[in-house]
Structure 1
Amino acid sequence: MEEKEAFDGEGMLQAQAEIWKYMYQFADSMALKSAVELRIADIIHSHGSPITLSQIAAGIIDSPSPDITCLARIMRLLVRRKIFTVTPQSDGGEALYGPTHMSRWLLHGAELSLAPMLMMENDHRALAPWHYLSNCVREGGIGFQKAHGREIWDYCSMNPEFNNIFNDAMGCTARITMKAIMTGYKDAFCGVGSMVDVGGGTGAAMGEIVKVHPHIKGINFDLPHVIATAPEYGGVSHVGGDMFKAIPSADAVFMKRIMHDWNDEDCVNILKNCRKAIPEKTGKVIIIDVVLNPEGDGMFDDTGLVLDLLMIAHTGGKERTELEWKKVLEEGGFPCYNIIKIAAFPSIIEAFPE
């Protein structure tokens, strides 16, 4: 009797509804992925005004006879998620689908787009490690290694196609974050003569910094297989190597979304190499990473907690609270730091040897 009563009432019904919602939340990602693959945002935005479902279907590339009923059902969910708008016609004609601020982040080829990141995170190879979270609890270890038999960096080096997808994803988020950095932190680069971007990928971030601050001698530093695909940027030299062994010398070290990939011990070792690479008195490290606020209700606080689980799945690293950052920085030789908020999900952690 007590068990039956426990499942009665509005509270339990609401709780059941919430579990159903979370159970199928992956469908949101899959619907977004399909929208990117079909270039729905591009089709709608290119018209300059809302268009019908038939017009969207006609714009889908390599599809002579698209299933409009299937498309309508996907669009219905995306409209509910406010990715697109829909306006019924009073004369009984086809409803018109329009863009939103969110759909602009799904455009291909746009300067600022999250489409490459969305495609990478929803690639079957990136999703497979998520199925190993409970194994990570039971046994420790990294989800990606359990799923694929090797760490993500080794996997990328041996799989050029996935490596390109990964690099495109990192490049698109770099552009978004760099726009926020160049707006909210631009003056801090003025006194820097040389800078090395550790784990800089294909060099997009350093290229942006040097373009705005041409007095800076830029060094883009990453693993050799990453550097091999890097395009040329004026004022930037590409250097292949291993940050756990040595980091090229410069006035400042820049690390965007690198430290979160590694455990505390590895981060301390990276910071010690940073300390060796910069001048003792005037050098600094500029870390672009999440500062977790687990109880916060800020715009990106919830995403930070999800990203922390992504680190378990993909890299074995972690997102950190301010107290956790303080501990790592002090052990790495950087007892002084400032945290600077910017208009993006990570923050700037400016660290100094003294």
Structure 2
Amino acid sequence: MASNNVLKASEIFEGQVHLYKHLYAHAVDCMSIKWMIELGIPDIIHNHGQPISLSKLVSILQIPPSKVRGVKSLLRYLAHNGFLQIVRVHHSTEEKEAYSLTSASQLLVKGTDLCLAPMVEAFINPSMARVWSHLKKWTYEDDITLFDVSLGSNLWDFLSKKPEFNETFNEAMASDSQMMNLALRGCKWVFEGVETIVDVGGGTGNTAKAICHAFPNVKCTVFDRPQVVEKLSGTKNLTYVGGDMFESIPKADAVLLKWILHDWSDKDSKQILENCKEAICDKGKRGKVIVIDVVMKEDQDELELTGLKLLMDVHMACLVNGKERTEEEWKKLVVEAGFQSYKVSPFTGYLSLIQIFP
């Protein structure tokens, strides 16, 4: 790469392409996914049972002729980004372009067990977009989050004051839990010998229900903010308890922290883990803490996976004063919280399973 003073024309044009790609994608990348869900395009293609032509799709959607060109443009861009696949199909005597679902857009088909459409609804909304416009101000405000700067309160206070956002957020977390439940099916060994477990921050209980289903003899407690669990009903081996994880955590053989610690600073995470240690070391019993979270591995992960983890680290750092951690940072946190050992195992594509032992 030439120095800034002697850039070649080809390098300048390459830089322009890179810059413009991100400028033009600023809103389109997210909003085109939202558009696709709002129009029900994944559902239409799924129900069609085969790749669908543009003419058939716009007929079903009753798109005005003047908008067909724009719809085609959006579909081709979604295909470029991996949300659709363009295939050639034969129709009568001619060959036509048609669209089929990819592994990503299959996750947007509503009514399926693994639908992530609620995640899109929660993260792609005007309030979230406005939050990021305050990054400069956030940079110079000491020790407060981007939510504090833009909305006047942290995320958790904001959710408690806005029932509609709280419901959307909980639905999003519940849909994501379905993905984790899929991964848990291959990790049954983690729960062997466990008779009681507390799912801290377990929301509406999707993961706890999956554990109860797989292990009928395990008693599960979902522990979350009172406003999250107050209207939920348990079963024979599933109970809901409201409380504050910074004060205490219900006693159990195991404590599950699923996508929790990345929301918090090292100081706060240490406090949570210390409370977990008290919960699993009652009356001489020594259980374990099961953490499902990101482990940063920039030198090992593929480029796309590294990009996702770095994006999540930006979200955590700016929105909630949290962080994604390397294994060395996890080790330091575990030791400082008073635990003796830990073990990291693969879990989903971007999450790891960390067992922590007192």
Q: TM-score, normalised by structure 2?
A: 0.90
Deviations 1:309-330 (A, max 9, x none): 1112321111111111111111
Alpha-carbon separation, structure 2, partners of 1:96 and 1:12: 37
CA contact 1:31–1:78 (8 Å) conserved in 2: yes
Work out which of the residue numbers 161, 164, 173 in structure 2 matches 1:161: 164
Give the Å deviation of 1:342.
1.7
CA contact 2:233–2:239 (8 Å) conserved in 1: no
CA contact 2:233–2:240 (8 Å) conserved in 1: no
For residue 73 of structure 1, what is the aligned residue in structure 2?
73
Moved more, 50-59 or 208-217: 50-59
The residue type paired with residue 130 of structure 1 is W
CA gap 1:208/1:332 in 2 versus in 1, 3 angstroms: same
CA contact 1:202–1:230 (8 Å) conserved in 2: yes
Work out which of the residue numbers 216, 222, 225 in structure 2 matches 1:223: 225
Moved more, 128-137 or 254-263: 128-137
Q: Specify the SS of the correspondent of 1:330.
A: helix
For residue 148 of structure 1, what is the aligned residue in structure 2?
151
Give the Å deviation of 1:34.
0.8
Runs of 4+ more than 4 Å apart: 2-5, 63-66, 88-94, 231-234
The residue type paired with residue 109 of structure 2 is L
For residue 328 of structure 2, what is the aligned residue in structure 1?
323
Alpha-carbon separation, structure 2, partners of 1:23 and 1:249: 51
CA contact 1:253–1:286 (8 Å) conserved in 2: yes
The residue type paired with residue 301 of structure 2 is D
For residue 356 of structure 2, what is the aligned residue in structure 1?
351
CA gap 1:277/1:75 in 2 versus in 1, 3 angstroms: same
Give the Å deviation of 1:92.
5.2
Alpha-carbon separation, structure 1, partners of 2:43 and 2:332: 46
Identity %, equivalent residues: 36
Moved more, 110-119 or 5-14: 5-14
Considering only aligned residues, what root-mean-square deviation do their CA atoms show, in Å? 2.3
The residue type paired with residue 220 of structure 2 is G
The residue type paired with residue 350 of structure 2 is F
For residue 122 of structure 1, what is the aligned residue in structure 2?
124
CA gap 1:87/1:349 in 2 versus in 1, 3 angstroms: closer
* Number of aligned residue pairs: 349
Residues 1-354 of structure 1: matches in 2 within 5 Å? 6-26=6-26, 27-60=28-61, 67-88=67-88, 91=93, 95-140=97-142, 141-183=144-186, 185-230=187-232, 232=234, 235-279=237-281, 280-298=284-302, 300-353=305-358
CA gap 1:163/1:4 in 2 versus in 1, 3 angstroms: closer
Q: Specify the SS of the correspondent of 2:86.
A: strand
Alpha-carbon separation, structure 2, partners of 1:136 and 1:115: 30
Q: Specify the SS of the correspondent of 1:25.
A: helix
Alpha-carbon separation, structure 2, partners of 1:12 and 1:45: 44
